[in-house]
Chain A
Amino acid sequence: MSVARPKQDALDARLASLVVPDGFDPARASALARVRAMGLPGRRDEYWRYTDPADLNAVATPYAARSADAENEPAPFGGIDQLKIVFVDGVFDAEASDDLTLSGVEIARLSEAVDMSWAQDLYGSLEARGQTPVQRPLAAINTAFATDGVLIRVTGQAARPVSIVYTRNSETSDAMLHHCIHLDAGAELTLLESGTVAARSCSVMEVEVSAGARFHHIRTQGRDHDPRTLTHIFARLASGAMFKSFTMTANGILTRNEAVLELVGDDAVAHLAGAALGDGAFHHDDTVFVTHQGLRCESRQVFKKVLKNGAVGVFQGKILVKPGAQKTDGYQISQALLLDDDSQFLAKPELEIYADDVKCSHGSTSGAIDETALFYLRSRGVSLKAAQALLVLAFLAEAISEIADEALAEDIRSRLESWLAGHGA
């Protein structure tokens, strides 16, 4: 495979600006080879038509001003007992982080874990699998160049959630973090992520969920206006494994969250949900690829976006049911609530099914707030703002209900309310 000349130049320039760190050498070398074969993403690529990758490809980090809204953000997951791991502009902050010991879990930093064999096996492997049938060159760049990240091996029941907290102080920081999470059979972990990684970031998280293991992931991004954020989750589920991930995004000039899930074993369950809120210069893209291979697996995708003042929402979600994946139960819904005529929602839902005994449904809608319901609430004395907030939360409810833990769901709800209070809806 070869890359066309101008694209080749752009790729060479980008790669020349990066340094391959020590450790995980074979995985990094093969990732680099993948990148060279693929080139950088461009708007002609099927899954980059709605989102311009230019800012993510650029050699220099686009300037990202700090915003007051970010400072007003309530502390992430306050009041929830958690083990905190803090990164500032993509650099580990030992002082702000907790001691990395936790019952039921082994935690290490990517930059210090040269000889962990489970991590050597996992690092880059799910990302590499996730390159077919759709190429994700920026994920391969991450594998080649990631400077740090968290390696988590869950051997039993994690005593409390592991919480990765990002803060950014720089207007030009550029971060590549790569997390690997391996849940042994029957193990269980809740992983929290919060904050803005850097002025620009490209992250990868690989999650291996062994038989009967349970992984819960709750993430809040944003309240920061200017950053460019690209995340990838690559997860593989063995028999009876469960994977649940919920992401809340409020603000952000460019956010793209990719998720590539493979349900390999039988009876696995994968749920992905997102609630995104944008006002003004906001571009939010969820790109999801779920592959069903095992028998009787269930997958659910619930993505909701609230858009105003020209905000743009993108959803690209695919369910692929492989031959033999009988009794698959796949569900996908993507919906946008457009609070004005300037905002737009672009959706590309896809089903590709090669088994005959499956149940798959998908739907995508965009619409305005229900004026009749709004009047009904107001006629009972609820103020316009409160009525709008109530209806927006009602719109998001199906996504929030994917958070199993009630305290975490309440935390997310109060963050959504706080954003809505500040953005006139």
Chain B
Amino acid sequence: MAKITLDNLAHSYLPNPASEDDFALKELNHDWDDGAAYALLGSSGCGKSTLLNIISGLLHPSQGRILFDGKDVTHAPTAARNIAQVFQFPVVYDTMTVHDNLAFPLRNRGRDEAYVAERVQEIARMIGMEDMLKKKARGLTADAKQKISLGRGMVRKDVNALLFDEPLTVIDPHMKWELRTQLKKLHHDFGHTMIYVTHDQTEALTFADKVVVMYDGRVVQIGTPEELFERPEHTFVGYFIGSPGMNVIPARIDGNKAYVNGSYVQLAQGYKPLDGKVEIGVRPEFARLSQSEGLPVKVRRIEDVGRHKIVRAEFFGTDINIIAGEDDHVSADMNRVTFDAAHVNVYANDWRVPGEAA
């Protein structure tokens, strides 16, 4: 168990990176608190696996340092870092039994057989494979292999950190829920530092204390699920978190008003003049259809998703989604939309701009 510090870290897969675009992981400074559970969220190719591999020592960064509890381990080999990692692609040792697969990391560290047997039993129970321990791993189904992979990651108690790279992708929903609960319990019981990569925002939001959102090789925001929801620091976070994502509308800001195509949106705070690409972002949860006030929109379609309705509308070529309560009345003459001023964020070049007291 350790606090993991990333200091000026960056990585490029190219031997001689010329520009920032060549870096799969752009410069990053961050502390992963000891014992915290993080979810790492981001679209495909944004550098999540690269980051995990650097932490575990499978990759050596092109620049910067990694410290475990203040001790520089940048050049330490994987074995010396004592980290458990579960890979995106499930790895099982085909010729071994399920039992031997789970025992492998312990035996390689010379733990005695009695302890190994006990630990393997425990893990087998957690992943629901107690009755399969004697089977050869070859020929098992994809989800069984993924469970073994996960089990091997959890079998050591004394690790500095647990890194999971989308460990549950091919597991069926019920088992997924079950395993997620187990992982949470494991975290609760042992307090390992955990980093959990996922594409699935529900998984991220339920699992983690803190969610780390990556975009294009950069960490764009780290925060609690509420923070990510209320104040996305980057338009990508707004778009990526939430279903549907945040509405982003090009605008011109003047004081505490945002002008969009001849109409204006009231803001809760005032802003200095902004350069570059300026947009406002509002979550669909904070938008409301109206008959009389707000921006004129064209309602295209209304989807009833059970708990609420999603109104798909268009405003001068920009899509706007609005979430209306299940019982809210939506009529044909409601062709305007208003926003809750307190929840309208302003973005310049995709980054959120803090307002000044109005």
A and B: interacting chains? no
